[in-house]
Structure 1
Amino acid sequence: MKVFRWMMTAALLGGVAAQAEVPELTALVPEAKEYELIGKLNPKEWGARGYAVDRSEALSGDLKRIGYLLKLTDKADKVSWVFTSMDAFTQVPGLAGVPSPESEVFQTYVSNLEVFSNVDGVKTGKFEKGNIEIWGRNYGGKNIKGIPGATDKFDFGDQVMPGGNYGSFQVHNYLEKQTVFAFNKFTANDSCDLGIGNSPAGNPDWTFTSSARNYKNAELFIVGKFDNLKVSEVVALNPANVLLTGVTDKDPLAYRLGETMTFTLTADLKGQKPTGDYFIKWTRTGDDGRKESGQGKVSDQPVVVRTSLDRPGFVRIYATLADKSGRTVRKLNARKQMEPVFFDGGAAVEPEKLTGTPEPEDFDAFWDKQKVKLAAMPLKFTMDKKSAPDAKVEVYAVTIDCPGPRPVTGYLTIPAGAGDKSLPATVRFDGYGMRSGRDFAPKGGPGNRIDFHINAHGYELGRDADYYREFGESIKSNGQGYAFDPKQNADPETAYFNGMALRVMRALQFVKQLPQWNGKELVAAGGSQGGLQTIWAAGLDPDVTRALPGIPWCCDLGGAKNFQRLSAGWRIGYQKSMDYYDPINFAKRIRCMVEVPRAGLGDYTCPPSGVAVFYNNLKCPKKITWYQGSTHGYVPPNPQKIVRESK
Structure 2
Amino acid sequence: MPHSAFTFDELQRYAPEVAEPDDFDEFWRDTLAEADAVPVLVDVRPEPTELRLLDSWDVTFAGFGGDPVRAWYTRPAGVREPLPAVVEYAGYGRGRGLPHERLTWPVAGYAHLLMDNRGQAGQYGAGDTPDPHGAPGGPWPVTWGILDPRTYHYRRLITDAVRAVEAVRALPGVEGDRVTVVGNSQGGGIALAVAGLVDDLSAALTTAPFLCDMRRAVALTDLAPYGEIARYLAVHREAEEAVWRTLSYVDGVSFARRATAPAQFGVGRRDTVCPPRTAFAAYNHYGAANGRPVPPEREMHVYPFNGHEGGEAVHVRRQLRWLGSVLHPVGA
Asked if the contact 2:118–2:130 (Cα under 8 Å) also holds between the matched residues in 1, the reply is no
Residue 353 of structure 1, CA deviation:
4.2
1:576 equivalent to 2:245? Answer yes
The equivalences for 1:117-516 within 5 A come to: 318=1, 344-348=3-7, 350-351=10-11, 352-404=13-65, 406-419=67-80, 422-435=82-95, 439-442=97-100, 445-446=106-107, 448-457=109-118, 478-485=137-144, 488-516=145-173
Distance 1:481 1:416, change over 3 A: same
Q: 2:238 is matched with which residue? A: none
Amino acid paired to 2:276: P
Residue 405 of structure 1, CA deviation:
7.7
Amino acid paired to 2:195: A
Residue 520 of structure 1, CA deviation:
3.2
Q: 2:290 is matched with which residue? A: none
Per-residue deviation, residues 121-173 of structure 1 (Å, max 9, x unmatched)? xxxxxxxxxxxxxxxxxxxxxxxxxxxxxxxxxxxxxxxxxxxxxxxxxxxxx
Distance 1:423 1:635, change over 3 A: closer
Q: Which structure carries more relative contact order (alpha carbon 8 Å, separation 6+)?
A: 2
Which whole-Å CA distance do the structure 2 matches of 1:614 and 1:567 have between them? 18
Name the SS of the counterpart of 1:350 in structure 2.
Answer: helix
What 5-or-longer segments of structure 1 have no aligned partner?
Answer: 1-317, 319-342, 640-646
Bigger radius of gyration among the two: 1
Which whole-Å CA distance do the structure 1 matches of 2:173 and 2:120 have between them? 26
What 5-or-longer segments of structure 2 have no aligned partner?
Answer: 231-242, 288-295, 316-325, 327-332
Distance 1:631 1:392, change over 3 A: closer
1:522 equivalent to 2:179? Answer yes
Distance 1:458 1:377, change over 3 A: farther
Which whole-Å CA distance do the structure 1 matches of 2:161 and 2:204 have between them? 13
Name the SS of the counterpart of 1:632 in structure 2.
Answer: coil
Asked if the contact 1:399–1:407 (Cα under 8 Å) also holds between the matched residues in 2, the reply is yes
Which whole-Å CA distance do the structure 1 matches of 2:18 and 2:6 have between them? 22
Amino acid paired to 1:364: D
Asked if the contact 2:177–2:201 (Cα under 8 Å) also holds between the matched residues in 1, the reply is no
1:556 equivalent to 2:218? Answer no
Per-residue deviation, residues 291-344 of structure 1 (Å, max 9, x unmatched)? xxxxxxxxxxxxxxxxxxxxxxxxxxx5xxxxxxxxxxxxxxxxxxxxxxxx55
Residue 471 of structure 1, CA deviation:
6.6
Name the SS of the counterpart of 1:457 in structure 2.
Answer: coil
Which whole-Å CA distance do the structure 2 matches of 1:449 and 1:633 have between them? 24
Residue 363 of structure 1, CA deviation:
0.9
Asked if the contact 1:524–1:534 (Cα under 8 Å) also holds between the matched residues in 2, the reply is yes
Which whole-Å CA distance do the structure 1 matches of 2:263 and 2:215 have between them? 23
Residue 502 of structure 1, CA deviation:
1.4
Amino acid paired to 1:543: D
Which whole-Å CA distance do the structure 1 matches of 2:254 and 2:190 have between them? 13
Q: Give the alignment partner of residue 531 of structure 1, picking from 176, 188, 191.
A: 188
Amino acid paired to 1:390: L
Q: Give the alignment partner of residue 304 of structure 2, picking from 628, 635, 646.
A: 628
Residue 634 of structure 1, CA deviation:
6.4
Considering fraction of residues, name the structure with more helix.
Answer: 2
Name the SS of the counterpart of 2:255 in structure 1.
Answer: helix
Residue 372 of structure 1, CA deviation:
1.1
Amino acid paired to 1:622: R
Which whole-Å CA distance do the structure 2 matches of 1:370 and 1:475 have between them? 18
TM-score, length basis structure 2: 0.75
Which whole-Å CA distance do the structure 1 matches of 2:217 and 2:89 have between them? 27
TM-score, length basis structure 1: 0.40
Asked if the contact 1:409–1:458 (Cα under 8 Å) also holds between the matched residues in 2, the reply is no
Distance 1:414 1:610, change over 3 A: same
Name the SS of the counterpart of 2:98 in structure 1.
Answer: coil
Distance 1:454 1:374, change over 3 A: same
Name the SS of the counterpart of 1:505 in structure 2.
Answer: helix
Per-residue deviation, residues 455-502 of structure 1 (Å, max 9, x unmatched)? 111789xxx98x97x979x989755211224xx212111001111011
Q: 1:616 is matched with which residue? A: 284
Distance 1:354 1:536, change over 3 A: closer
Which whole-Å CA distance do the structure 1 matches of 2:149 and 2:134 have between them? 17
Tell me the percent identity: 24
Amino acid paired to 2:91: G
Which whole-Å CA distance do the structure 2 matches of 1:521 and 1:585 have between them? 24
Residue 449 of structure 1, CA deviation:
1.8
Asked if the contact 2:183–2:205 (Cα under 8 Å) also holds between the matched residues in 1, the reply is yes
Asked if the contact 2:84–2:178 (Cα under 8 Å) also holds between the matched residues in 1, the reply is yes
Asked if the contact 2:74–2:112 (Cα under 8 Å) also holds between the matched residues in 1, the reply is yes
1:594 equivalent to 2:263? Answer yes
Residue 515 of structure 1, CA deviation:
3.4
1:545 equivalent to 2:205? Answer no
Asked if the contact 1:402–1:408 (Cα under 8 Å) also holds between the matched residues in 2, the reply is yes
Asked if the contact 1:346–1:602 (Cα under 8 Å) also holds between the matched residues in 2, the reply is no
Name the SS of the counterpart of 1:587 in structure 2.
Answer: helix
Asked if the contact 1:426–1:450 (Cα under 8 Å) also holds between the matched residues in 2, the reply is yes
CA RMSD of aligned residues (A): 3.5
Name the SS of the counterpart of 1:425 in structure 2.
Answer: strand
Name the SS of the counterpart of 1:448 in structure 2.
Answer: coil
Asked if the contact 1:347–1:601 (Cα under 8 Å) also holds between the matched residues in 2, the reply is no
Asked if the contact 2:217–2:274 (Cα under 8 Å) also holds between the matched residues in 1, the reply is no
Q: Give the alignment partner of residue 585 of structure 1, picking from 245, 254, 266.
A: 254
Asked if the contact 2:38–2:66 (Cα under 8 Å) also holds between the matched residues in 1, the reply is no
